[in-house]
Amino acid sequence: MLKTFRIGGVHPPENKLSANGKIIVLTLPEQVIIPLSQHIGAPATPIVQKGDTVKAGQLIAQATGFVSANIHSSVSGTIVAIDNVTDAAGLSKPAITIKVEGDEWENGIDRTEKIEHNIALSQEEIIKAIAAAGIVGMGGATFPTQVKLTPPPGNKAEFLIINGVECEPYLTSDHRIMLEKAEEIIIGVQILMKAIGVKKAIIGIENNKKDAIAHLQQIADKTPEIEICPLKVKYPQGGEKQLIQATTGRTVPSGALPIAVGAVVQNAGTALAVYEAVMKHKPLIERVVTVTGKSVKNPGNYLCRIGTPVSKLLEAAGGIPEDTAKVIGGGPMMGRTMLNIDSPVMKGTSGILLISDKEARRSPVRNCIRCSKCVSVCPMGLEPYLLAKLATFNLLERLEEEKVMDCIECGSCSFTCPSARPLLDYIRLGKTRTGAMLRNRKK
């Protein structure tokens, strides 16, 4: 019997339209816009100036503080601006704009296809190399990887879990890299195991990716310390706490981090980036992005440089269909509407979804009928109807008591609500305000 997490979960249509085509390398754009904050934590500080020439892979902004990440140029060319730009949400954020001139890479980066197996670096050297390369969580959370690999005092990792679930409908970028870069991912897993000092790793993959499961099992047979764990298809299995429970049976307590139960979780894409950083000396300057939608002419997975305008990805996929009502950054369950399609691809950009007017149209909101469906599907054991109501009235202390900060914003509640109530919208608002209250309280 396939493993899965214990409570809640839903089964939205998978719509994995782009799963079967090979990764397509996107041509370089005329310019890139590289935001200084592509990660959770403090924005990076620029170390270059307008008019400087840079190479692909060159450090252009340094991490500020412990929870931060380095930023590198993804192209070679001239810096034309260091100023605020409009991001996907329509907000003004600091960024470095580079005019592309050729494709010259920083010295020392190995761009050959040869796979390197000998992990010569020590535990400390691996963590330093990962930090230097600006690696962050590639599944969308963008938590600086070197921080995850440095557990707080008194905590010790027992096992590494690799998230190859990709449970969000439509998205297939992780699926494709597990098929096309499996050997590199396995070496990346071994590097991560050495970095945190564990002897066991589990790669969790949902059973709708049988080809990836079989391919990775064939390669991992040579490394018995790495287990490939097929999982029952159920959303949101890619959530850290849900994945830990599904693969190990352990439950992370409310308010605690995975390390509390001995787990460190990393995305499959992060494992690949770690391999490239440690074995190829390549910083995180490109990633695979799914561009998809039922009306998209050429749905697929595109390898593009960080900072590439989203509009260039849409052009490569055949342009924006006439019936498009929304462009979403991410998938339909957790993604957010993009207000600016000229905003750049960032380290955490996993997918771009175009949905039609028919798909985007919300049903009329009706009164809550107290059916408790939202409660039964919540994977965190919360009461979404109550959290939404408390958020409506801005009752922040009650929201704290009802553990709104445990919400992983998966959208299962909104998906299942027969009254079409925008539960997640209200809960996100309440969570944001409660989080601000808690931070002010600490100050």
* CATH architecture of the domain covering 24-109+283-357: Roll (3.10)
Nearest-5° angle of CA 365, CA 370, CA 374? Answer: 75
Q: Looking at residue 190, what is its pLDDT? A: 98
Average pLDDT over residues 307-325: 97
Structure token digits, residue 351:
């997918």
Per-residue pLDDT of 371-393, as tens digits, reads: 999 999 999 999 999 999 999 99
Q: Is the pTM of this model over 0.75?
A: yes
Rounded Cα gap, residues 306 and 73, in angstroms: 8
**3-class secondary-structure state, position 325:** strand
For the chain, counts of helices (H) and of strands (E): 14, 17
- Whether omega before 35 lies within 30 degrees of 0, making that bond cis, reads no
Helical ranges in 370-422 per DSSP H: 373-377, 384-392, 396-401, 412-416
Rounded Cα gap, residues 138 and 389, in angstroms: 33
Per-residue pLDDT of 14-73, as tens digits, reads: 999 999 999 999 999 999 999 999 999 999 999 999 999 999 999 999 999 889 999 999
Q: Looking at residue 278, what is its pLDDT? A: 98
Q: Looking at residue 65, what is its pLDDT? A: 87
In the chain, which segments carry CATH 3.40.50.11540? 123-280
Average pLDDT over residues 59-88: 96
Identity of the residue numbered 356: S
b/e 182-203 (16+ beta carbons within 10 angstroms → b): bbbbbbbbbbbbbbbebebbbb
Position 141 confidence tier, pLDDT thresholds 50, 70, 90: confident
Rounded Cα gap, residues 266 and 270, in angstroms: 6
Q: Which residues pair with 144 in a beta bridge?
A: 136
Per cent of the chain over pLDDT 90 is: 96
Rounded Cα gap, residues 432 and 357, in angstroms: 29
Q: Looking at residue 139, what is its pLDDT? A: 87
Inform me whether the pLDDT recorded for 145 exceeds 90.
yes
Query: How many other CB atoms are found less than 10 A from the CB of residue 106?
Result: 18
Give the CATH superfamily of 123-280.
Answer: NADH-ubiquinone oxidoreductase 51kDa subunit (3.40.50.11540)
Backbone φ and ψ of 44, nearest 5°: -75, 155
Beta strands, E only, 63-137: 71-72, 77-86, 92-100
In the chain, which segments carry CATH 3.10.20.600? 24-109+283-357
